[in-house]
Amino acid sequence: MAEPVYIREGFANMLKGKEGVGGKLYLDEKMLHHKPHAINIQREETAVLLKEVASVERVRNRLLGIPLLNNGLKVTLQSGLEVQYVVNKAGQWVEDVERAVADAKKSGVV
Protein backbone atom coordinates (compact mmCIF):
# COMPACT_ATOMS: atom_id res chain seq x y z
CA MET A 1 0.00 0.00 0.00
CA ALA A 2 1.36 3.42 -0.97
CA GLU A 3 2.19 6.00 1.68
CA PRO A 4 -0.19 8.99 1.68
CA VAL A 5 0.99 12.19 0.05
CA TYR A 6 0.72 14.98 2.59
CA ILE A 7 -0.59 18.36 1.53
CA ARG A 8 0.69 19.83 4.80
CA GLU A 9 2.28 18.55 8.00
CA GLY A 10 3.64 20.16 11.12
CA PHE A 11 3.91 20.07 14.88
CA ALA A 12 0.59 20.57 16.64
CA ASN A 13 -1.03 20.26 20.02
CA MET A 14 -4.52 18.80 19.90
CA LEU A 15 -6.71 20.07 22.70
CA LYS A 16 -8.29 17.10 24.51
CA GLY A 17 -9.99 18.16 27.71
CA LYS A 18 -7.44 20.04 29.77
CA GLU A 19 -4.46 18.48 28.01
CA GLY A 20 -2.71 19.87 24.96
CA VAL A 21 -1.63 16.60 23.35
CA GLY A 22 1.64 17.28 21.53
CA GLY A 23 2.43 15.59 18.26
CA LYS A 24 2.24 16.10 14.53
CA LEU A 25 -0.71 17.04 12.37
CA TYR A 26 -0.98 15.69 8.82
CA LEU A 27 -3.34 16.74 6.04
CA ASP A 28 -3.84 14.54 3.01
CA GLU A 29 -6.55 14.28 0.35
CA LYS A 30 -8.88 12.34 2.67
CA MET A 31 -8.24 13.37 6.27
CA LEU A 32 -6.67 15.52 8.95
CA HIS A 33 -4.67 13.17 11.16
CA HIS A 34 -3.04 13.91 14.55
CA LYS A 35 -0.31 11.54 15.77
CA PRO A 36 0.68 12.21 19.41
CA HIS A 37 4.21 11.95 20.78
CA ALA A 38 4.82 8.91 22.99
CA ILE A 39 5.36 11.08 26.09
CA ASN A 40 1.72 12.22 26.26
CA ILE A 41 -0.79 10.82 28.73
CA GLN A 42 -3.34 10.55 25.91
CA ARG A 43 -1.62 8.70 23.08
CA GLU A 44 -4.41 7.68 20.74
CA GLU A 45 -4.26 8.99 17.18
CA THR A 46 -7.18 11.05 15.93
CA ALA A 47 -8.38 11.28 12.33
CA VAL A 48 -10.97 13.68 10.95
CA LEU A 49 -12.32 12.71 7.54
CA LEU A 50 -12.57 15.69 5.19
CA LYS A 51 -16.08 14.61 4.18
CA GLU A 52 -17.17 15.30 7.79
CA VAL A 53 -15.79 18.87 7.91
CA ALA A 54 -18.41 21.61 8.01
CA SER A 55 -16.06 24.56 8.66
CA VAL A 56 -12.49 25.51 9.51
CA GLU A 57 -11.39 28.69 11.25
CA ARG A 58 -8.48 30.35 12.94
CA VAL A 59 -9.06 31.04 16.64
CA ARG A 60 -7.25 32.62 19.58
CA ASN A 61 -6.02 30.16 22.16
CA ARG A 62 -6.55 30.99 25.82
CA LEU A 63 -4.37 30.79 28.89
CA LEU A 64 -6.29 31.00 32.17
CA GLY A 65 -9.28 32.26 30.20
CA ILE A 66 -7.35 35.10 28.54
CA PRO A 67 -7.23 35.05 24.72
CA LEU A 68 -3.60 35.10 23.65
CA LEU A 69 -2.06 34.00 20.39
CA ASN A 70 -4.05 33.65 17.20
CA ASN A 71 -2.51 30.23 16.53
CA GLY A 72 -5.53 28.00 16.91
CA LEU A 73 -7.14 25.88 14.22
CA LYS A 74 -10.75 24.93 14.93
CA VAL A 75 -12.42 22.29 12.77
CA THR A 76 -16.17 21.93 13.16
CA LEU A 77 -17.68 18.68 11.95
CA GLN A 78 -21.12 18.29 10.41
CA SER A 79 -22.19 16.61 13.66
CA GLY A 80 -21.40 19.84 15.52
CA LEU A 81 -18.34 18.39 17.25
CA GLU A 82 -15.39 20.81 17.38
CA VAL A 83 -11.76 19.71 17.20
CA GLN A 84 -9.09 22.26 18.06
CA TYR A 85 -5.35 22.36 17.49
CA VAL A 86 -2.51 24.76 18.28
CA VAL A 87 -0.35 25.09 15.16
CA ASN A 88 2.28 27.28 13.54
CA LYS A 89 0.98 29.34 10.61
CA ALA A 90 -2.68 28.79 11.50
CA GLY A 91 -3.88 30.93 8.60
CA GLN A 92 -2.08 28.69 6.11
CA TRP A 93 -3.53 25.59 7.79
CA VAL A 94 -7.05 27.05 7.40
CA GLU A 95 -6.47 27.74 3.69
CA ASP A 96 -4.98 24.29 3.04
CA VAL A 97 -7.74 22.40 4.89
CA GLU A 98 -10.48 24.42 3.16
CA ARG A 99 -8.89 23.77 -0.23
CA ALA A 100 -8.48 20.04 0.51
CA VAL A 101 -12.14 19.77 1.58
CA ALA A 102 -13.30 21.56 -1.60
CA ASP A 103 -11.00 19.46 -3.84
CA ALA A 104 -12.15 16.23 -2.18
CA LYS A 105 -15.79 17.13 -2.72
CA LYS A 106 -15.18 18.02 -6.38
CA SER A 107 -13.25 14.85 -7.13
CA GLY A 108 -15.53 12.57 -5.14
CA VAL A 109 -12.68 11.38 -2.87
CA VAL A 110 -14.74 11.90 0.27
Mind listing the pLDDT tens digit for each residue in 69-106? 788 999 999 999 999 999 999 999 999 999 999 998 88
Q: Tell which wins on pLDDT, 73 or 40.
A: 73
Q: Contact, 26 vs 14, CB < 8 A?
A: no
* Domain boundaries defined on the chain: 8-107
Distance CA 110, CA 106 (A): 9
- Tell me the range of 21-30, 43-52, 60-69, 92-101 where mean pLDDT is highest: 92-101
pTM of the model: 0.85
Q: Spell out the CATH class of 8-107.
A: mainly beta
Q: Identify the sign of the CA torsion 46, 13, 72, 5.
A: negative
DSSP 49-78: EGGGEEEEEEE--EETTEE--S-EEEEEET
Strand (E) or helix (H) holding 99: helix 90-107
